[in-house]
Structure 1
Amino acid sequence: MSDDIQHDSRSVFIGSGSGFWGDSALAVPQLLTAPRLDYIVFDYLAETTMSVLQRARLKDPELGYATDFVTGAVKPNLKILMERGIRLVSNAGGLNPAKCRDALLAVAAEQGLAPRIAIVTGDDVLALADRFEMPDGQPAAAATAPLMSANAYLGAQPIAQALSEGADIVVTGRCVDSASLLGIAMHEFGWAPHDYNRLAQGSLAGHLVECGAQATGGLFTDWETVPDWADIGYPIVELQADGTFALGKPAGTGGRVDRATVAEQLLYEIGDPAAYALPDVVCDFTQVRIEDAGTDRVRVFGARGRAPSDHYKVTTTYPRGFQIAIMMAIRGQRAKAKAQRTAQELLKRTRAQMARAGFADYSGTLVELLGAESMYGAHARVEESREIVLRIAVQHRDRKALAFLQKESASAGTSMGPGTRSHFGGRADIQAVIGTASHFIAKEHVMVCLQSAPDAPMQYMPAPERGIATEPLSTDPVGTASAALDVDTVPVTLSRIAHGRSGDKGDDANIGVIARKQELVPVLERYLTEQRVRDYFSHLVDGPVTRFALPGLGAFNFLLERALGGGGSCSLRSDPLGKCYAQMLLDLEIPCPRDLLPQTDRLHNQGDTA
């Protein structure tokens, strides 16, 4: 650590203004009520969002970026942002950073303002497809369909450079979600590319706030204890030069910030917590500690880092046909049986029509009875219901083939079961299915560019120094829990002794489980095994389940491979993102020693909250 960093006692305040494309417009005005704010970061690019942007760009080459950033976040607030000197960093550029900048400059000119806007490009690596590699270093197989896009996940260094050159707003294309905040930290504190522990802490801060209000009580297991969702506070990080930080929210807002809410978000969308790989650093979150530091405020420390690999991750998109999902409400006696038959008859009818017209069968079908717990498989508890929403989702290579179900579904309201309301607001749309695949590319092949103004020359950023190979995955050692845990046990639902949060990465899902108090960690270790989780989700998961330990949080992370029916826009499921998986798992019963049980119901047991 340099002397300058050692003696830098400043704090930098960074707010999170968006967790995804479509997030609330509440965030920026709310953050502006904070007495101290230096930056706001905005994340718009979920993997499914890239598919949406690709569709938009195909229709109009002027699009392909997150328009909400321009119209919802910047336009109404730009004057006060510039008056206060608050700088913005966003990946809203998507597939078209230059057009995003043009739109920003246009709305600024309307207000007589002239912010300095830099763009970071180079993530588009479609022309380098012949250099893509698999995780084992072997060349990637040729794509089965023409690629529509290919984007590398860039890091934080170009963002830091843009800020150092005076940008008021930095717009990037595809970069890792946490890079926006890490780039700010590298600029403000002069962190070097080899300051791995600080880079890991900065990346952790970025990871925690990249999904907006999910760090401040959104999606929290004990949702009943989170006040005022209508005005939920968006997170603000107070970052210091050594990488430690506090996380809070604007005073007087809703939501909840404490050890439990923030720990849940740390586990969101991660795999091996000892090898969270980013372009700038490989993070180890296993010893991270989160401490309550006052009302709606926590202190976070303990992330460690090591050198990154010399490759970027690349996500490609390609056409995979079309799909449609129709929904209808069915009510009355034996609604579940009526819904099942309705689906069977509609599929039978449309298959016959398709065959007569010369089309092949559907390439995929899925029937879900929402309200009958169809997602739960053998764990469903609803035997019958008087109200069901029937959802039929199908895929086909030819858009025209799906027009039969699109049209015929309405007839269920007159020719099938009583109590059927066959449409919600008109015919369902036929959507293009855009598949995604992940590859890797050597950093030396990727030309990362920074342009500080529309008329400025492109600056080519040198490839980062070659990193060292990362260590193998650090799986959780099993079998260390004491056999004494088997004495005087009672079955309890997992929610009584743990919190949980789940997320997605492509076709994989993760479920983070956090003990409500430290004494319960051995119970989770002994009874919440990989096999138990795999068996519980056997109707949804096609791949293995791996468990990882996070001793610093008293938590375990489960990685479920091939768990989402293809994931994202490829999946026919109503939850292609695994959002409900933690909630499902929390209904699982496991043994727990009687003397370790919480003394009161979880809603009143905040003292035990982990």
Structure 2
Amino acid sequence: MPKKNVRIGGASGFWGESAMATPQLLDAGVDYLVYDYLAEITMSIMARAHAKDPAVGYAGDFISAVLKPHARAIAAQGVKVIANAGGVNPAACGEAARALIQEQGLALKVAVITGDNLLAELDAIAAGAPTEMFAGAAFPDKQKIASINAYLGAFPIARALAEGADIVITGRCVDSAVTLGACIHEFGWSASDHDLLASGSLAGHLLECGPQATGGNYTDWEDAGDISNIGYPIGTVSSDGSFTVTKPEGTGGCVTVGTVSEQMLYEIGDPQAYMLPDVVCDFSEVEITQLGPDKVYVSPARGYPAPDQYKTCLTYGEGFRGGTYVSFYGFDAARKAQKFCDNVFARAGKILRGHNLGDYSETSVELIGAESQFGDYASDHQSREVVAKIAAKHSEAAAIGILLRELTGLGLATPPGLGSFSGARAKPSPVVRLFSYLTPKHAVTIQIDVDGKLLEFTDNPGQPFNPASITRPAIPALIETSDEMVTAPLIQLAWARSGDKGNKANIGVIARDPDYLPYIWAALTPDSVARRFGHFIDGGAAAARIDKYYLPGAHAINFLIDAVLGGGGVASIRNDAQGKGYGQILLAHPVAIPAAMADKLT
């Protein structure tokens, strides 16, 4: 049987992204457009909006910025569209899509997949009192819960396509499912095709963040060129699970081994046990090869049977937070900024006590631009410009309002050199925390609505997965050499990309040359990484919980650091609450290499 290919364009990586991808990918020619709008923060925002207005709670820009201007071209070209734009209200999103299609006189069939939203079952879930799957925390107060969503998989999407749907709208599914669903439909993959499902999931993982696979957030950022016109990724997937990644001709950005490898390691934990509803993926032996300019080949992944439970994410309110940024200039800028922040909290604290409001539950001061605390290869000159980020949490919005007022009120009593951008004063905002747990698949009812035709869908029941059963690759051994050893910064030897999962951060490190990897592995130990991020880790470096994984196929390492984001997402008051800059911090880490190897570095 000849190998069949399908071209899939990754058109959105988050709710609110630029609308430039859709026309670009339509002009390039694709079979499918896939859109990923959802994250845990997004779900909580949509849930709050839906609570105020039952007609909203979905990604409205999918209707206004994708379908309204481009539905005619989508219909004319026969392109299928898959999007998790439904948020917490996929039915309303589907109705809006159908109304627009009718208004434009088009014959596009819309399918809506529901069943992920479990908020209506809150009482029963609370009675079962599941514990948080990572931290073991107790189930939160149900009065504070905003959303509960199980992460569905790709087979319902494939079924909707089989029913003739041109546009498939889901609520919360795993990000990669919008791509895998298309592959299952096109190639006839079954629930037992574990390696193929893992490979299609990897294709989805590479496409789900749009231009992050084509030069966005890339270590070698200058190679991306004109990012104002960056190209969005196109995955050409084959029936054997292999695929290539390209971008539309004439666009900015770049597609290289580095960009694709960085995205493969982005926001994953154990690369040999990347658990999805349809399959457990093993990316450790995947090879990534440059075929030509802006064209990269990705070999198939390995897979294991689907798990028997859905990861389920609950968001709940936990008080309020607020803060702002101010800048200081001139001599001793950092000391002046710290003095200002200390006294803002001192003044606000006195007012809190006068109102019997109690102290802030958490405070944060970060002096951005102050002398580096990362040592080697980082600047330690005396900063003459510093931005101070000051923030706090409290159970009462009024207490945050006091802090924000005193931030302004201290302006005439400050050390010299204070500056700030004028505008509206910051306001208190809700703290939303994430609580993850597992829901048995049999407890979730999935329904597919294809223009009024209702179908009950029964998912693969799956089976328990035991990570201890995985065979781990042998760690890279140092090559014996009598050559003198010298140190180089990691950035000369590797690319890196970091991201978040709740209160955990991952940092993927990919060797620029396979020969570098043994030295990188030896230098980057859990202890050395803990020391570099100790000021971020709850309890400091001594309390660090860091896992280190090896991916021999990509010549890469993945670190997973626990309790390092101050709660993560909108529960955090850190400047980098999602760990996006952690890879850049790690790239200053010194690595000992033979002098002969150092001579070859550019």
Name the TM tier (shorter chain).
over 0.9
Distance in 1 between residues matched to 2:135 and 2:39, nearest whole Å: 27
Q: Residue 592 of structure 1: CA displacement?
A: 0.9
Whether contact under 8 Å (2:44, 2:147) holds in the other structure is no
Amino acid at match of 2:24: Q
* Worse-matched range after superposition: 341-350 or 112-121: 112-121
Partner of 2:80: 87
Distance in 2 between residues matched to 1:144 and 1:491, nearest whole Å: 52
Q: Residue 145 of structure 1: CA displacement?
A: 4.9
Q: Residue 57 of structure 1: CA displacement?
A: 1.8
Q: In the alignment, does 2:485 pair up with 1:492?
A: no
Partner of 1:342: 340
Partner of 1:327: 325
Q: In the alignment, does 2:307 pair up with 1:309?
A: yes
Q: Residue 567 of structure 1: CA displacement?
A: 0.5
Q: Residue 423 of structure 1: CA displacement?
A: 4.8
Partner of 1:155: 153
Q: Residue 538 of structure 1: CA displacement?
A: 1.3
Partner of 1:604: none
Partner of 1:44: 37
Amino acid at match of 1:28: T
Post-superposition Cα deviations, 1:243-297, rounded to whole Å, max 9, x if no partner, equal: 1111101011111112111011100001111111100000110100111122211
Partner of 2:535: 539
Partner of 2:500: 504
Q: In the alignment, does 2:232 pair up with 1:234?
A: yes
- 3-state SS of 1:414 partner: coil
Whether contact under 8 Å (2:14, 2:37) holds in the other structure is yes
- 3-state SS of 1:534 partner: helix
Q: CA RMSD in A?
A: 2.3
Relative to the length of structure 2, the TM-score reads 0.94
Distance in 1 between residues matched to 2:433 and 2:560, nearest whole Å: 21
Post-superposition Cα deviations, 1:306-356, rounded to whole Å, max 9, x if no partner, equal: 102100000011111101111122222222111111111111111111110
Match of 1:446 among 436, 441, 444: 444
Partner of 2:566: 565
- 3-state SS of 1:12 partner: strand
Distance in 2 between residues matched to 1:86 and 1:335, nearest whole Å: 56
Distance in 2 between residues matched to 1:476 and 1:593, nearest whole Å: 28
Whether contact under 8 Å (1:131, 1:139) holds in the other structure is no
Distance in 1 between residues matched to 2:579 and 2:593, nearest whole Å: 27
Match of 2:140 among 122, 138, 143: 143
Post-superposition Cα deviations, 1:7-60, rounded to whole Å, max 9, x if no partner, equal: 1432111101101112111111111111x3111000011222122212222332
Distance in 2 between residues matched to 1:418 and 1:139, nearest whole Å: 48
Amino acid at match of 1:161: R
Q: Residue 563 of structure 1: CA displacement?
A: 1.2
Partner of 2:100: 107
Indicate how the Cα distance of structure 1 residues 149 and 486 shifts in structure 2: closer, same or farther if over 3 A, else same. farther
- Aligned identity (percent) is 44
- 3-state SS of 1:577 partner: coil
* Worse-matched range after superposition: 67-76 or 83-92: 67-76
Distance in 2 between residues matched to 1:248 and 1:214, nearest whole Å: 12
- 3-state SS of 1:362 partner: coil
Whether contact under 8 Å (1:513, 1:557) holds in the other structure is yes
Whether contact under 8 Å (2:213, 2:259) holds in the other structure is yes
Q: Residue 201 of structure 1: CA displacement?
A: 0.6
Whether contact under 8 Å (2:82, 2:169) holds in the other structure is yes
Partner of 1:577: 578
Amino acid at match of 1:43: D
Whether contact under 8 Å (1:326, 1:393) holds in the other structure is yes
Post-superposition Cα deviations, 1:47-79, rounded to whole Å, max 9, x if no partner, equal: 221222122223322221112211122211111
Indicate how the Cα distance of structure 1 residues 328 and 476 shifts in structure 2: closer, same or farther if over 3 A, else same. farther
Match of 2:181 among 176, 180, 183: 183
Indicate how the Cα distance of structure 1 residues 214 and 387 shifts in structure 2: closer, same or farther if over 3 A, else same. same
* Worse-matched range after superposition: 304-313 or 380-389: 380-389
Match of 1:257 among 249, 255, 258: 255
Distance in 1 between residues matched to 2:82 and 2:429, nearest whole Å: 32
Distance in 2 between residues matched to 1:156 and 1:478, nearest whole Å: 33
- Alignment of structure 1 residues 237-316 onto 2, 5 Å: 237-316=235-314
Match of 2:14 among 15, 20, 23: 20
Whether contact under 8 Å (2:548, 2:560) holds in the other structure is yes
Amino acid at match of 1:521: L
Indicate how the Cα distance of structure 1 residues 486 and 328 shifts in structure 2: closer, same or farther if over 3 A, else same. farther
Q: In the alignment, does 2:516 pair up with 1:520?
A: yes
Q: In the alignment, does 2:466 pair up with 1:470?
A: yes
* Worse-matched range after superposition: 223-232 or 468-477: 468-477
Indicate how the Cα distance of structure 1 residues 136 and 436 shifts in structure 2: closer, same or farther if over 3 A, else same. closer
Q: Residue 136 of structure 1: CA displacement?
A: 7.9
Indicate how the Cα distance of structure 1 residues 302 and 134 shifts in structure 2: closer, same or farther if over 3 A, else same. farther
Distance in 2 between residues matched to 1:477 and 1:197, nearest whole Å: 18
Distance in 2 between residues matched to 1:445 and 1:132, nearest whole Å: 15
Whether contact under 8 Å (1:116, 1:168) holds in the other structure is yes
Amino acid at match of 1:11: N
* Worse-matched range after superposition: 577-586 or 18-27: 18-27
Q: Residue 382 of structure 1: CA displacement?
A: 4.0
Whether contact under 8 Å (2:376, 2:590) holds in the other structure is no
Post-superposition Cα deviations, 1:396-442, rounded to whole Å, max 9, x if no partner, equal: 10111111122222223322122222454220121111111110011
Indicate how the Cα distance of structure 1 residues 135 and 52 shifts in structure 2: closer, same or farther if over 3 A, else same. closer
Distance in 2 between residues matched to 1:483 and 1:38, nearest whole Å: 47
Partner of 2:588: 587
Q: Residue 376 of structure 1: CA displacement?
A: 5.4
Indicate how the Cα distance of structure 1 residues 275 and 135 shifts in structure 2: closer, same or farther if over 3 A, else same. farther
Partner of 2:541: none
Amino acid at match of 1:318: Y
Partner of 2:453: 456
Distance in 1 between residues matched to 2:584 and 2:450, nearest whole Å: 46
Amino acid at match of 2:419: R
Whether contact under 8 Å (1:485, 1:592) holds in the other structure is no
Whether contact under 8 Å (1:320, 1:432) holds in the other structure is yes
Partner of 1:78: 71
Whether contact under 8 Å (1:326, 1:391) holds in the other structure is yes
Distance in 1 between residues matched to 2:173 and 2:75, nearest whole Å: 25
Q: Residue 385 of structure 1: CA displacement?
A: 2.0
Distance in 1 between residues matched to 2:536 and 2:470, nearest whole Å: 25
Distance in 2 between residues matched to 1:398 and 1:378, nearest whole Å: 43
Distance in 2 between residues matched to 1:138 and 1:409, nearest whole Å: 35
Q: Residue 468 of structure 1: CA displacement?
A: 4.5
Relative to the length of structure 1, the TM-score reads 0.93
* Worse-matched range after superposition: 287-296 or 464-473: 464-473
Whether contact under 8 Å (1:258, 1:296) holds in the other structure is yes
**Aligned residue-pair number:** 592
